[in-house]
Structure 1
Amino acid sequence: MYTIKKIFNNNSVLALDSEKREIVILGCGIAFKKKVNDKVSEDNVEKTFILKQKDASEKFKLLLEDISAEYISLCYDIIEYAKNILDKELNDYIYVTLTDHINYVIEACKQGISKPNILIWEIKKFYPKEFAVGLKAIEFIEDELGYKLHEDEAGNIALHLINAQVNEKSDTVEDVYNITKKINDILNIVKYTYNLELDEKTLNYERFITHLRFFFKRLERKEITESEDNFLLEQVKNKYTDAYECMLKIEKYLGQELSNEEQLYLMLHIQRVTTREK
């Protein structure tokens, strides 16, 4: 049995479980004709939310006061589906950010407003699993609510899922968006420098993308370290002159000089991702 602590609407309440933990519970009509301190049977509960992060929990409770329980339930299903498909732990804030986002999108859809995602193709390329979940999410939305959203929205949902895989609260969807754009810009620098198309199906391409993702996170956190041994760097510069010139263009694009260690690994990845194409 659950004890009601606060009623949001007929279908959602804040309750205490048997261990006196705060828990949000959803169920059709579970709060109908109920009041604070009344009991709710577990048989009537359809979904439960236990958010360990206090800040996320408080914001989620505020959302429940303004957003339909139907939307909350739908987002719960999307997030659970994402966890299973991605096989990754998601930050509690996903329940707040994704629910708020989908509520906004649906309200905008009712008014005939849509916002294009200018990085849709990059998201498809760099985050295919998250994008696939986003496509499934807009299927859920159409099936449950009857609103047909453009695939651009699958990209936006994917960005929220990408962000939720990062533990730091400071990482926002905008951060992921900006990093994705920078990765695409660097890929274009490599393509134009070597005058070739990169094979996106190769392992070297995947490794390069992964390297760039972590590279930008290191830049952001100022975790760049300087190697004391420059011998290998000089050897690579002399052997792979095209990769060196390409690396210099990337430095110019970034507007900062990279450490010797970052220069070395960037050149090696550029050499690998372009050599396979020749």
Structure 2
Amino acid sequence: MIIKKIFNNNAVLAKDASKHESVVVGCGIGFKKKVGDEIDENLVEKTFILKQKEISEKFKLLLEDVPVEYVSLSYDIIEYAKNILKVKLNDYIYITLTDHISNALKLFEEGLNCSNVLIWEIKKFYPKEFAVGLKALDFIESETDKRLPENEAGNIALHLINAQVNSSSDKVENMRDMTTKIMDILNIVKYTYNIELDDKSLSYERFITHLRFFFKRLNKEEKRESEHDDFLLKQGKAKYKKAYNCMLKIEKYLEKELNDEEKLYLTLHIQRVTKR
């Protein structure tokens, strides 16, 4: 392979004999080199072959702004995630996750801690991805000596969730069906309470996100046993009677029996989204 472009001392754009491009990372791989030089194969630590041209171009731009150690760190997290989750991830995650880690570390250094409003859903409904997110914090700490807060485990998990290669359940027609059902559920809530929902509110955003996650699980026919006995649900029913009855209407509309945990979460979301 020969060097086509040098990003920095540790990252170069390479071209092989077939003129295929790849980004090659390694300590000192671009040091005192120039375009057209042969790459020292012994220095190669990681190779990025991004097949889609748009992703490849954005990745090259990212390398000009982000420290190469963050690129390498992101690569290790992604490879770990693939092994643990046993799923295919879209190549775009090499850009989104690297960019996120870079920004997260920058904010951390400035003493800023951004909350993750979805961490509740992520922990409950994507425990494997969240566990990978927690492990990613270990990777980051090992590389940078900075321990990011748990919220960042949720953010990393969200990147992994979004990057999972679409299955048949995520085809356009099913996405349309999901959108229709979400609108129907919102209408059930609106007509039950005879109010207009505030679509700019945080509670509305969380409710929509919860419903999207919920339908993805239904489409994948994921069966999750409730982690609680019915005690909490009974409490929710007693405290938020109208929200509970609204949830029952939604369950009837879905024509699917929900477990106690789902019933509880839907009830709580309905209570929050309708609270003035």
Tell me the TM-score range normalised by the shorter chain: 0.5 to 0.7
AA aligned to 2:154 is G
Determine if the alignment matches structure 1 residue 115 to structure 2 residue 114: yes
Q: 8 Å contact 2:251–2:257 — kept in the other structure?
A: no
Alignment of 1:15 with 2:14, yes or no, is yes
Query: Which shows bigger deviation, 159-168 or 37-46?
Result: 159-168
Match of residue 268 from structure 1: 256
1:144 corresponding residue in structure 2: 143
Structure 2 counterpart of 1:191: none
Paired position in structure 2 for 1:67: 66
Matched position secondary structure for 2:14: strand
Letter in 2 for 1:26: V
Q: Do the aligned partners of residues 183 and 90 (structure 1) sit closer, same or farther apart at CA in structure 2, a change above 3 Å counting?
A: closer
Q: Indicate conservation of the 8 Å contact 1:14/1:25, yes or no.
A: yes
Q: How does 1:102-181 map to 2 (within 5 A)?
A: 102-167=101-166, 179-181=208-210
Which runs of no fewer than 5 residues in structure 1 stay unpaired? Answer: 187-207, 215-242, 252-262
Alignment check: 8 A CA contact 1:75 1:98 kept: yes
Displacement after TM superposition at 1:177 (Å): 7.2
Give the Cα–Cα distance (whole angstroms) in 2 for the partners of residues 4 and 81 of structure 1: 29
- The equivalent of 2:54 in structure 1 is 55
The whole-number CA distance in structure 2 between the counterparts of 1:213 and 1:108 is 36
* Structure 1 residue 51: Cα displacement: 0.5
Change (3 A) 1:102 1:178: farther
Identity of aligned residues (%): 58
Q: Which residue of 1 aligns with 2:198?
A: none
Partner of 2:45: 46
Question: Number of paired residues?
Answer: 205
Question: Does structure 1 conserve the Cα–Cα contact (< 8 Å) formed by 2:117 and 2:206?
Answer: no
The alignment status of 1:182 with 2:211, answered yes or no, reads: yes
**Cα RMSD, aligned residues only:** 3.1
**Whole-angstrom CA distance in 1 between matches of 2:206 and 2:60:** 28
Q: CA deviation at 1:8?
A: 0.2
In structure 1, the residue corresponding to 2:256 is in which secondary structure?
A: helix
Q: Output one character per residue of 1:63-86: Cα deviation in whole Å (capped at 9) or x when no partner.
A: 000111111100000000001001
Cα 1:213–1:115 change in 2 (3 A) is: farther
Q: Secondary structure at the residue paired with 1:268?
A: coil
Q: Find 1:210's aligned residue among 217, 225, 250.
A: 217
Counterpart mapping for 1:80-119 below 5 A = 80-119=79-118
Q: Offset at 1:96?
A: 0.5
SS of the residue corresponding to residue 48 of structure 1 reads strand
Give the whole-Å Cα distance in 1 for the aligned partners of 2:98 and 2:165: 18
Deviation at 1:213, TM superposition (A): 7.4
Give the superposition deviation at 1:165: 0.6
1:80 aligns to what SS in structure 2? helix
Shift of 1:17: 1.9
| Distance across 1 between alignment mates of 2:56 and 2:10 | 18
2-structure distance, mates of 1:5, 1:20: 10
Quote how far apart the aligned CAs of 1:91 are. Answer: 0.2
Distance 1:116 1:56 in 2: 28
Corresponding letter in the other structure for 1:141: I
**TM-score calculated relative to the size of structure 1:** 0.66
Counterpart Cα distance in 2 of 1:18 and 1:177: 51
Write the deviation string for residues 214-271 of structure 1: whole angstroms up to 9, x where unpaired: 8xxxxxxxxxxxxxxxxxxxxxxxxxxxx997453479xxxxxxxxxxx4xx22233x
Q: Hey, what does 1:248 align to over in structure 2?
A: 249
1:29 maps to which residue?
28
Asked if the contact 1:123/1:180 (under 8 Å) is kept, the reply is: no
CA distance in 2, matches of 1:165, 1:149: 24
Cα 1:46–1:269 change in 2 (3 A) is same
1:211 deviates by 0.8
